[in-house]
Each structure stands twice: as C-alpha cells, then as structure tokens.
Amino acid sequence: MNGLDAAQALLGHDFSRPELLAEALTHRSAAGAKGVGSNERLEFIGDRVLGLVVAEWLIERFPNEQEGKLGPRLAALVSKPSLAAIAEAHEVGAMLSVAPGEAKRGVSTQANVMADALEAMIGALYLDAGLAAVKAFIRRVMTDVMVAQAAPPKDPKTALQEWALKRALPLPAYTVVSQSGPSHAPLFVVRVSVGNASAEAKAGAKRAAEQEAARMLLEELPE
C-alpha cells in the first residue's frame, strides 16, 4: 500500500481531489517534485479545523467547565506531542514524501514533522470532504486521549514554576544549549534549572524543548 492509499484508509475517505492529500503528505524538503507543493498551507488550515472540532468536543464532554479549565484541556490535546503520538501510532511518518537526504536523517520520524503532517491531512480532509468527515476522523483517533484526560492538565512549564514557588525557590531558568539543523528541520537543545537541579531536552521547536525539559525535571524532583 502506497502513502496515498494508506492515508486514505486512515482518514476513512476516498479523495475526489487526491492532489490535496498528496500535498498534505509532502514535506517541505520534497516540495516541487512532480509539481507538488509542501504541506505547510494545509497544516495551517488543519490546525484551525482541529482546534474547532476538539473545542466543540470539550464543550460537549464537560458541559459544566469554564474557559479556565477548557483552555488547558484543548492546549494539551492539540499539542505537538499529543499529535505526534497519534501520528506515530498510525505510522504517518511512513506515508510522507521526503527528500532522500532528509529521509536518511530520519526527518519523517521526527515528532514535529509527524504532528505537522497529521494537521495537514486534517486540512486536506476538510477541503475535500467537509467538517463532518473531519469530526468523525478526529473523534476516532483521539478518543483514547480524550477519555484519559480526567482532570484539566497543567503544562510542564507551569507545573514546574508552581513547584518552585511553593518552595520559595527562584523561577525556573531556561537556556538554549545548542541549535542545529537546517531551517526547515531545526533541532533545539534546552536546559532548565531550578535551584541545584537541572534537565536537558531536545525538540524541533524551542518551546517544545522547554516543555520537555520541564517535564523531565519534574519527574526527578520530589513531590
């Protein structure tokens, strides 16, 4: 099964405009090959459609919660790590068209690349089949993470800041240790320090690396 067929099977839709799906599966490194553009434009619209569908789902699932709790729920569910985990579980990376050199570097398995591709696929599905098809797909692939989110989550940076404040410690300090890779696939290494404790993490975006470093440090710190 080729990438297009696998993507259509995952999305549960046979595209009347398969060129949309081909674009959604094209990493920027492979843009221009066979006249296909990169998936960035479809990622743009897919991100907005995903947010709308998940926000509606949250209002339906938690009818008594206000924005202060719904906001963190939404942010966690549509975050890059959450989307990357879903994309990895459904082997989205194997569906992508990536330039040979980038493929050798494992770009298609990078979390941010898979998350962006999933959003682009959602954008393509929306444009080809409408909101109802997108809603059915999102609820199918995100039900487990939605059900698992019993309480409104706190992002790791907020949780780490609260941990420090409760102990009268200085606020966490984040430092970019290094930045490497090409502009279309950067890699940030970030260190976070609180008191004498620290942790490092890497990701394709600075904020994502900060969040991961905070999460790692929280796992090492006492409750």
Q: What is the pLDDT of residues 129-155, one digit of tens each?
A: 999 999 999 999 999 999 888 777 777
Q: pLDDT class for 219, splitting at 50, 70, 90?
A: confident
104 and 75 housed in the same domain? yes
144 and 167 housed in the same domain? no
- Model pLDDT, residue 144: 92
Catalytic residue among 43, 102, 116, 119: 119
In 3D space, the residue among 23, 26, 29, 36 whose CA is nearest the CA of residue 181 turns out to be 29
pLDDT greater than 70 at residue 31: yes
Residue 195 lies in domain: 156-220
Catalytic residue among 23, 43, 47, 212: 47
71 and 141 housed in the same domain? yes
59 and 161 housed in the same domain? no
Q: Where are the alpha helices (DSSP H) in the chain?
A: 3-11, 18-24, 40-61, 67-77, 80-89, 100-104, 111-129, 131-148, 156-166, 206-220
- Model pLDDT, residue 155: 77
216 and 128 housed in the same domain? no
Q: pLDDT class for 103, splitting at 50, 70, 90?
A: confident
88 and 109 housed in the same domain? yes
Q: pLDDT class for 42, splitting at 50, 70, 90?
A: very high
- Model pLDDT, residue 20: 96
pTM of the model: 0.72
For residue 155, indicate whether it is catalytic. no
Average pLDDT of 105-123? 92
- Model pLDDT, residue 80: 85
174 and 211 housed in the same domain? yes
169 and 143 housed in the same domain? no
